[in-house]
Amino acid sequence: MPFHFAERIAHAPPSFLEELFRVSSDHSIISFAGGLPSSALIDVEGISEAGRQVMEDDGRTALQYSTTDGYLPLREYIAQRYRTRLGVPASADKIQIVNGSQQSLDLFGKIFLNRGDHVGMERPGYLGAIEAFSLYEPVIHTVPIDEQGLVPDAFERLIATHPVKFFYGIPNSQNPSGCTYSEERREQIAGILSGTDTVFYDDDAFGELFFDGKPRLPVKKYLPEQSVISGSFSKIIAPGMRIGWLYAPPEILKTFNIAKQAADLHSNFLCQMVLHRYLTTHDLDAHIRNIVSVYGRRCRLMCDLLDDLLPTLTHTTPEGGMFMMATLPAGISSRAVFDNGIQEKVAVLPGMPFYIDGGGTDTIRLNFSNADEEKIKTGMERLARVINRLIRS
């Protein structure tokens, strides 16, 4: 029988997931295509011990229904970390726990966007955000980024010419480009938005992962009441726990909370309690230093190998995070690199899904967090063979 799905689902962009799935199920392929943190750096023993303690001390509470806003001690922990790390006046009433920061994207879209409303994001932009917002059928505008972040003139033009409800950006180690906004650009963006009705949505999935260990000031510092920050434990503790948060003015959170309650009542309460126990019984900063030193080495190695083996290709040089982006030599298509790469047993992600208005046919995204240094070396040699063969043909 024909199933009459809602029109909005037809607005979901074509996904590359099927092809990625094929790649991840073949273990002989070295994949730089996905976006996984390193499994080896997840503290399985520490998290199991925290789980055991929570069950023993307060299992009945952990396994009961709870409030939509989230476990108060966890929200207090997050707020305290903002105050000490970034010097912003966070408090638990401004923090809402979500099912991974991906849920913030969906619920934010749900509470702000009517069909045809205007929303802005970076070009290239995070695929998961494109997918989440598209279901609410907005008009999505894009603003290009360079190595310093959003291009101010283009950003100003967009804000001046369209009633943009919110602008979604990733100032720290952007996905997919790996670029980080300079401090000057953050101030410029806040200046442009100040006095308008546009909210700045700062997706801070990677802010703890700077290789130099130094935090960057959020746009919120310059625009406190008009911006929100979404955060996540996925990249620093474990993505499978699905715990993230939204840090926002209480007026936004009140509405957000209604949508969250309708969606799932609350996030997994057992995981919230286990996570809080883990955080308060372990040295999070030392754990993050360890992750960052491994990712920093992998990133440098990947950059060096690209420079040595593929000098005609250009790439971003990330200050942190998990991704970099490369622009292929003239005439080489990212789709051909993907298809030929699979035969050579190396996978990269073609840039197209990150460009909603076309583009990306000459760029690829490379993940450096998941493969170890040996795999990075072998994978880059394979990639160089693929691209050099395409150049010669």
Ligand X SMILES: Cc1ncc(COP(=O)(O)O)c(C=O)c1O
Q: Which of 34, 46, 128, 329 binds ligand X (CB under 6 A)?
A: 128
Does residue number 35 form part of the binding site for ligand X (CB under 6 A)?
A: yes
C-beta of 205 vs 364, nearer to ligand X: 205
Strand, coil or helix: 330: coil
Q: Which two tokens stand for residue 194?
A: 């100040």
Query: CA-CA distance, 4 to 392, in Å (whole number)?
Result: 49
Does residue number 136 form part of the binding site for ligand X (CB under 6 A)?
A: no
Does residue number 244 form part of the binding site for ligand X (CB under 6 A)?
A: yes
C-beta of 315 vs 365, nearer to ligand X: 365
DSSP letters spanning 257-277? HHHHHHHHSSS-HHHHHHHHH
Does residue number 370 form part of the binding site for ligand X (CB under 6 A)?
A: no
Does residue number 232 form part of the binding site for ligand X (CB under 6 A)?
A: yes
User: Which residue in 138, 97, 144, 103 sits closest to 121, CA to CA?
Assistant: 144
Q: Apex CA 238: angle with CA 235 and CA 243, to 5°?
A: 90
Q: Taking contact as CB under 6 A, which single stretch among the options 65-73, 100-108, 132-140, 270-278 is the one that binds ligand X?
A: 100-108
- CB of residue 307 to ligand X, shortest distance in Å: 25
Q: Which of 106, 202, 203, 208 binds ligand X (CB under 6 A)?
A: 203
Does residue number 205 form part of the binding site for ligand X (CB under 6 A)?
A: yes
C-beta of 205 vs 326, nearer to ligand X: 205
Give whole-number Cα distances, 234 to 206, 243, 260, 267, in Å.
10, 7, 19, 14
Residue type, 179: C
Q: Taking contact as CB under 6 A, which single stretch among the options 94-102, 139-147, 156-164, 364-372 is the one that binds ligand X?
A: 94-102
Distance of CA 217 to the CA centre of its chain: 17
User: Which residue in 32, 34, 44 sits closest to 238, CA to CA?
Assistant: 44
Binding residues for ligand X, how many (CB under 6 A)? 14
Query: CA-CA distance, 30 to 240, in Å (whole number)?
Result: 22
Q: Which residues bind ligand X (CB under 6 A)?
A: 35, 100-102, 126, 128, 170, 175, 203, 205, 232, 234, 239, 244
